[in-house]
Structure formats: C-alpha cells, structure tokens
Structure 1
C-alpha cells in the first residue's frame, strides 16, 4: 500500500509540474488558449495535481510512521 501511495504521489506531482510548465510557457509566448481550454484552467489543473501528489506522499509518510 505504501509503495502504491508513493507511486501515485510521484506520478501526480510530476504530471502537475509538467502541466504547469506547459501552461506557463504557452502563456508567456502570448497564447490564451491551448486547444479548447484556457491556459489558466490548465494551470489550475496542474496546481491541483501537485496538491494531490503532496497529499498522497503525506499519506505514505504517515503510514510509514504508524508501522514503527
């Protein structure tokens, strides 16, 4: 279970960071939309993914401490 939480946390965090970087780079290049989505929406989705990654990693950390 702990390994799954670590994997989910790292994957969600990495995906969120990549989404934030893509949205930020596109916005700095002067675009307001990517496909049918506003770049602010994609940035918020990236931030939400990073927060979920932090939550999963926190769960993994607290589960590890309870076992000791």
Structure 2
C-alpha cells in the first residue's frame, strides 16, 4: 500500500502546487478566467490536490510506523 501512496501523494502535491502557482500568477497578471474556469476555482483545485497529497503521505508515514512497532 505504501508503494502506491508515496508516489500518489507526491504527484498530487506537485500538481496541486503547480495549479496554485498558475492561479496566482494568472491573477497577478490581471486574468479572472483560465481555460474556462475562474481563477479562484483553479486555486481551490490546487489546494485540494495539495491536501490530498498530504493526506496520502500521512497515511503512508503512519502505516510504516505501525509496521515498525509490530
């Protein structure tokens, strides 16, 4: 399970970070829409990706700690 959660968490966090970065730069450039979506929506999707990535990494970390103590 950890073999799946670690890369998934890293990928989700990285994509979420990129979406937040794109949303921030687009908003600083004065854009309100990006690819048919409002910038705030793109930012929220990015935040959700980072939260999902953190959750996956947290589950992987706690899972490996439980295996070490058993």
TM-score, scaled relative to structure 1: 0.97
Task: Write the distance in 1 (CA, Å) between the matches of 2:53 and 2:35.
Answer: 26
Where in structure 2 are there 5+ consecutive unaligned residues? none
- RMSD after superposition: 0.5
Q: What residue is the counterpart of 1:67 in the other structure?
A: 67
Following TM superposition, the consecutive aligned residue runs of length 4 or more in structure 1 with deviations greater than 6 angstroms are none
User: Aligned-pair distance for 1:35?
Assistant: 2.1
Note if 1:28 corresponds to 2:28: yes
Q: What residue is the counterpart of 2:44 in the other structure?
A: 44
- Number of aligned residue pairs: give it: 68
Where in structure 1 are there 5+ consecutive unaligned residues? none
TM-score, scaled relative to structure 2: 0.94
